[in-house]
Each structure stands twice: as C-alpha cells, then as structure tokens.
A and B are shown apart, each in its own frame.
Chain A
Amino acid sequence: MKLGVQVNEGPYQHQASDSAYQFVKAAVEKGHEIFRVFFYHDGVNNGTRLATPPQDDRNVANRWSELAAKHDIDLVLCVAAAQRRGIADADEAKRNGKDADNIAPGFRISGLGQLIEAGIQCDRLVVFGD
C-alpha cells in the first residue's frame, strides 16, 4: 500500500512523532511504500538538528534522519509552519535574512501542496496528532 503520513506535534512534548516514527518503520518493514512524511503545526520542530536531548533518551530528529537515509523516505516540513517557528534550511535562512539555518539531514522544506498531493496520490493518509 502507498502511504502518506502527517505529523502535527513537536518532539518530546507529545507522542505523535514517536508513534508516526514507529508506524513508518513498521510499514516499511512490512513492505509498504511511504510516499511522504509531512510535518505540520509544531511538527516542524521534529526537523531541527540543534536539539540536544539527554543521552539516555531517544533522539527524535536523528531517528527520523536515519530512517530517511536508510529507506529513502521523503521528509517534508511545511514552509509556512517552519517560518513561524524558526526552522530554516540554507535557502530559507538567506531569503528571510537569518544568520543561520537549523534543518536536520534528510528533511526538506516545501509547501502545503505537498500534503494535499500526498492525500491525492496515496492509498491512505495517516494523521498523527493531538
């Protein structure tokens, strides 16, 4: 099955991102195709490389990056949500006059159209949120 996933909550504050990660991992292991994971609302905070969680805890951003690299999964942060919350790649930082970027490896920033497209293209769009 071709699956789209939407993540609406940030890391640690809420389990949504953990549940989405476990779901994506399990789906890939079962042979399903993950068309895209789209991060919206505070979900874009999953895509910062600057988080430093305690060493005995899971690293949510790194875990997504590693999963994306291993299985070639498209991780997309909503541009409007990311701009509000200070998540930027090099292009966005430059465009908006910021002195740094902070996007984690394997993530990219794009528009809400990518979410709608996932809804159109996928057999199922699975939403993880509050």
Chain B
Amino acid sequence: MSEEEMIEGGGEGVIKKFLYLNRRAPYGSIYALESLEVVLIGAAFEQDVSVAFIDDGVYQLTKGQDTKGVEMKNFSPTYRALEMYDVEKLYVFKESLDERGLTEDDLIVDVEVVDAKQMADLMDEQEVILSF
C-alpha cells in the first residue's frame, strides 16, 4: 500500500480553501517534510490551496541547503516542483524573514511576501488550515 494507491473519496466537486501553515525549520524535526507530503498528496484533490511560511518555517525555502553532514535528505528542490502540482500560491511572512536576516532573494521559489495584516487576512479567508 502506498499513498498514491489510496487517493479516493474526495468531495464530489466541492472546492474548499486549504492553507498549509509551515512554522518549523526543515530539519531538526520531521514536520516540514511530512507537511510537504500532505501538500503533494492533497494536490490530487484539486482544492484551492495556499501554502504559508512563518517563524522558522521560512528556512524551508532557503537556497543552498546542504544536508550531507546530518545525513538527511535535502528535500528543498521539491518546493520548486509545487508549481507542477498547481500549488502556486506561496506566502512568506515578512517579519519572519526580517528577524532572520533573510530576503526574498534567499529563497528557492517565487513567493508573495506578506505583512501581519495580510497574513491574518489570508488565514481568515480559509476554510481548512493545517498547521505544521
């Protein structure tokens, strides 16, 4: 049994607004990787998907990740593949970038950088929020 074999029973044409909220660094815990797995599987259900990155979650998108020393898989290239799954609405919280000395140029994908008000509005308009 694999994930791909088990995609069934969606909402019969119902389209909801889903937000995946990524809050944690890519390594150090498995939340980021397993969040990405949900986004990829969830794409098959053709919902209205947004993905947001806040706090240490912004590190998930940084360029030049080298995981050899910790013997973990560098899964950051997968974020570039999200576009092929029609997951195109990526939001990054400006304050989290600023706090970490990062800018949009440090990120491996095109994103929309949003302030606190915009992030709050984004969350407010969602029907399902999955927080990782």
Contact = CB atoms under 8 A, between A and B. Distances in A.
A113 B45 contact: yes
Contact of A113 (B3, B14, B18, B127): B3
Interface stretch (A22-30, A46-54, A61-69, A104-112): A104-112
B1 A113 contact: no
A101 interface: no
B131 A119 contact: no
B16 A120 contact: yes
A84 B7 CA distance: 20
Interface string A70-108: 000000000111001000000110010000000000000
B110 interface: no
Nearest to A79: B1
B131 A111 contact: no
Contacts of A40: 34, 38
Interface string B31-65: 10010011001101101000000000000000000
A110 B30 contact: no
20 contacts: A8-B132, A41-B30, A111-B1, A111-B2, A111-B4, A111-B5, A111-B41, A112-B37, A113-B7, A113-B42, A114-B6, A115-B130, A116-B38, A116-B41, A116-B47, A117-B10, A119-B16, A119-B127, A121-B11, A129-B132
Interface of B: 1-11, 14, 16, 18, 30-31, 34, 37-38, 41-42, 44-45, 47, 127-132
